[in-house]
Amino acid sequence: MIPGQSMALGVPAISLNGAAPRCEHIDGLEPVRPGSADCRDCQDRPDRPAALVVCLSCGWVACSDDSPNHHARAHYEETNHPVAAGLHPGTRGRWCYVHQRLV
């Protein structure tokens, strides 16, 4: 049998991540309330964040990897909280720092 195919139908299995391998880091995530409206680590800096993300484990808000300071990545490296999502309404993707991809 070819990996990724269903034994019953012989068709590719589809995960909640679409065609990407399933990310177990999204399992069991509870809704969180963002802890702030801005990256606290960037508040006193002249270079404003390009985008903000919220940690889906604890609600910490930080600047994304598109920003000069990468505070969301620093939060992941410090806490091992694996998944973040865009803070602003309408942002759809969630980023898994472990798998380095959208989930």
Quote the pLDDT of residue 11. Answer: 43
How many Å from the N-terminal Cα to the C-terminal Cα in the chain? 26
Instruction: Tell whether the model's pLDDT for residue 3 goes beyond 60.
Output: no
Instruction: Return the minimum-mean-pLDDT range out of 4-8, 13-17, 38-42, 53-57.
Output: 4-8
Stated pTM of the model = 0.77
Name the average pLDDT for the chain.
80
Phi/psi of residue 83, nearest 5 degrees? -125, 135
Phi and psi based region of residue 43 (left: phi greater than 0; alpha: psi -120 to 50; beta: remaining) = alpha
- What's the pLDDT at 53? 94
Give me the pLDDT at residue 91, please. Answer: 79
Query: Could you give all domains of the chain from N- to C-terminal order, each with its CATH number?
Result: 24-102 (3.30.40.10)
